[in-house]
Amino acid sequence: MAEREQIRKPAPAERETEAAEAPAASERADELKAELDDLLDEIDEVLETNAEDFVKSYIQKGGQ
Amino acid sequence: MAVPKTLGIETEYGIVHKGTDEPNPIAASSVLINAYLHDAGYRTDTGHESVHWDFIDETPGIDARGYAPTGAMPPDVETHLVNAVLTNGARYYVDHAHPELSTPECADARSVVLYDRAAELIAVRSMQAAANLLPPGEELVLYKNNSDGKGNSYGCHENYLVDRSTPFGRIVNRATAHFITRQIYTGAGKVGAEAPGMSTDDVDFQLTQRADFFEEEVGLETTLKRPIINTRDEPHADARKYRRLHVIVGDANPSQVATFLKVGTTALVLALTEDDAFTRDLTFRTPVPAMRQVSHDMSLRQALELDDGSTITALEAQWEILDQSKKYVEAHGTDNVGGETALDVLQRWEQVLAGLEDDPMTLAGQLDWVAKYRLLNGYRERHELPWSDARLRAMDIQYSDMRPDKSLAARVGLETIVDDAEALAATTEPPHDTRAFFRGRCLQKFPAAVVAANWDSLVFDVGTDALRRVPMMEPLRGTEAHVGTLFDECDSAAELLRRLGN
């Protein structure tokens, strides 16, 4: 890990920007969570109806 | 010396014929492609379906190492199946029981994303056109993935033009390090494992579709005992100057950001390799197991052994390769790595590595494996399912469903790099900055006169004496800047050939 830090060498200004953005990132995580819940709410309608049969019948010939 | 990175990708789609008890994927692929050609107005009045692919320069059995190992099986070229050239310079054909779309030659990573999205739109239109031809209740469905979850894989291959004079061993070394470690952002995600000796339940979820299928470090095969570095030496260009590195390790990505990074970073790595700009070797002790280790490690923290006895994680290796690539661009500029687009590649590359280090889940709008994991894991937690539940495996497959109303990838809110209006135009318009422009314009303007085409030549029948072959051995000649005006001024193929000095 220390070695990687050495490789990146972020400038001090860059580090401050990252720190300032931290609260925004956590808000974004909350938004993403809400979006995922909405997505899961609507998704049942489009999922393949008989998952077991669908998975079993999804057989492909090998390609390249 | 690095040559400009002309590049492109070829995608074999999974195909399912719904509503029939006797599916025949080869016949289904032919129906699909012919339905598209008819629907899109390609001429069918000459007795053949479209402009034929010309196989005269196809030599997939020639090995880049300069010899063919005993027992190696060069791939056969299938010449009897549907094989069309499109007006955007792309190729649409049946390959190994799958429909396959190759992008035209592109000059940068953004152009690859554009023509890959155009290929998706062609796939969608093909399914719709086929539905109109098939009996009621039957349907052809395409999947942009690389595995059926039962040990059968099909590829999404990348192609990069490289300098013939670069020692092949150096390419093997540098490219292998990148292929093992780039998986952390190029993976399309998969439930379970299919590696030899592993049960599907040995791994809950892994980063890639494809890593389980690699068994050799270097080799000529593409369908069995697949190698990390494929040695097919078929440049489709002047063989004295160029190689085409045929890359078979990648996943097909619904995410445009993943495709952009996959080809953009690899083009940079190859340019650094040609100019011998890497300041240290990243030689992995056991590349084949390392491919799987990285793919099977959601934590991204697995230590991988290097030949010098030290260890490195995939993320650390990628930071190092990024750092070297930035220095390379500072020293050499972007002329050979896609121009200004290379700066965008570097920027996104850094953002993605920072995101992966901080919390991969923040990249659910950029990377396929993250988007797929987040969706499936959310569903799993809500319904309290084990990873082996068929519903999760079904969602894995359905992530790559090409039907817009069924595709889960289309619902997870992936960031796009090109918009669909531009991609729709690219289904018929060739890139302006490679030889694909010449191929595409000829097919747009003089389709009756072009009797055959392939990557490096066109064959014309202009009604006089012998057929005329126009070679295109330089991938960056025949661009709009070179021949755009000529096309505007010529009313016939005969005139075009005359003006070209043939």
Q: What is the pLDDT of residues B73-90, one digit of tens each?
A: 445 555 456 889 999 999
CA distance B391 to chain A (A): 5
Q: Do B378 and A40 touch (CB under 8 A)?
A: yes
Average confidence (pLDDT) over B51-58? 72
Token digits of residue B369: 């494996």
Chain A residue at shortest CA distance from B17: A58
Average confidence (pLDDT) over B442-462? 93
DSSP annotation of B351 reads: H
Q: Is B474 helix (H, G, I), strand (E, B) or coil?
A: coil
Q: Which of A39, A49, A58 to mutate to test the interface with B (most CBs of B within 10 A)?
A: A58
* Catalytic entry in B54, B63, B95, B401: B95
The partner residue sitting opposite A64, judged by closest CB among B96, B149, B398, is B96
The partner residue sitting opposite B391, judged by closest CB among A7, A36, A51, is A51
d(CA B19, CA B424): 30
Domain ranges of chain B: 7-425, 436-499
d(CA B379, CA B381): 6
Note whether A49 contacts B: Cβ–Cβ < 8 A: no
Contact B259, B9 (CB under 8 A): yes
Q: Is the pLDDT of residue A1 over 50?
A: no
d(CA B88, CA B47): 22
Only one residue has tokens 């070695």, namely A3
d(CA B209, CA B153): 8
Q: Is B255 helix (H, G, I), strand (E, B) or coil?
A: coil
Q: Do B375 and A36 touch (CB under 8 A)?
A: yes
Chain A residue at shortest CA distance from B210: A64
Which pLDDT does position B191 carry in this prediction? 97
Average confidence (pLDDT) over B464-470? 87
Which pLDDT does position B200 carry in this prediction? 79
Q: Do A39 and B412 touch (CB under 8 A)?
A: yes
Q: Is B259 helix (H, G, I), strand (E, B) or coil?
A: helix
Q: For residues A24 and B291, which has the higher predicted lDDT (pLDDT)? A: B291
CA distance A60 to chain B (A): 6
Q: Is B95 one of the annotated active-site residues of the chain?
A: yes
Q: What is the CA radius of gyration of chain B?
A: 22
d(CA B369, CA B360): 10
Note whether A4 contacts B: Cβ–Cβ < 8 A: yes
Note whether A44 contacts B: Cβ–Cβ < 8 A: no
Q: Do A47 and B394 touch (CB under 8 A)?
A: yes
Q: Which of B13, B150, B350, B396 to mutate to test the interface with A (most CBs of A within 10 A)?
A: B150
Work out whether strand B91-95 and strand B98-102 pair parallel, antiparallel, or are unpaired: antiparallel
Average confidence (pLDDT) over B393-413? 97
What residues have CB less than 8 Å from B158, skipping those under 6 apart? B7, B8, B9, B246, B247, B250, B262, B263, B266
Of the pLDDT bands very low, low, confident and very high (cuts 50, 70, 90), residue B396 is very high
Note whether A35 contacts B: Cβ–Cβ < 8 A: yes
Average confidence (pLDDT) over B145-155? 96
Contact residues, chain B, for A46 at CB < 8 Å: 398, 405-406, 408, 411
Note whether A7 contacts B: Cβ–Cβ < 8 A: yes
CA distance B265 to chain A (A): 17
Best CA proximity match to A60, nearest among B143, B127, B194: B143
CATH of domain B7-425: 3.30.590
Which pLDDT does position B108 carry in this prediction? 98
Token digits of residue B318: 């990628």
Q: Count of H helices and E strands in chain A?
A: 3, 0
Which has the minimum average pLDDT: A10-14, B154-158, B279-283, B318-322? Answer: A10-14
- CA–CA distances in Å: residue B162 to residues A25, B62, B235, B240: 41, 17, 9, 11
Contact B413, B423 (CB under 8 A): no
Decide: residue A17, CB within 10 A, 0-12 exposed, 13-18 middle, 19+ buried: exposed
Which pLDDT does position A5 carry in this prediction? 44
Chain A residue at shortest CA distance from B247: A64
CA atoms lying within 13 Å on the CB side of residue B390: 11
Token digits of residue B122: 């062609």
Only one residue has tokens 């990024």, namely B322
Average confidence (pLDDT) over B123-144? 96
Identify residue B23 by its one-letter amino acid code: P
Predicted TM-score (pTM) of the model is: 0.92
As a whole number, the mean pLDDT across chain B is: 93
∠ CA B439-B443-B447, rounded to 5°: 145
**Which of B77-86, B106-115, B220-229 tops mean pLDDT?**
B106-115
CA distance B145 to chain A (A): 11
Note whether A55 contacts B: Cβ–Cβ < 8 A: yes
CA distance B6 to chain A (A): 22
Which has the minimum average pLDDT: A33-42, B4-13, B307-316, B424-433? Answer: A33-42
Contact residues, chain A, for B150 at CB < 8 Å: 59
Best CA proximity match to B440, nearest among B36, B103, B192: B103
Q: Do A47 and B395 touch (CB under 8 A)?
A: yes
Chain B residue at shortest CA distance from A45: B406
Which pLDDT does position A22 carry in this prediction? 55
d(CA B375, CA B21): 32
Identify residue B25 by its one-letter amino acid code: P
Which pLDDT does position B46 carry in this prediction? 44
Which pLDDT does position A25 carry in this prediction? 66
Average confidence (pLDDT) over A38-51? 90
d(CA B248, CA B179): 10
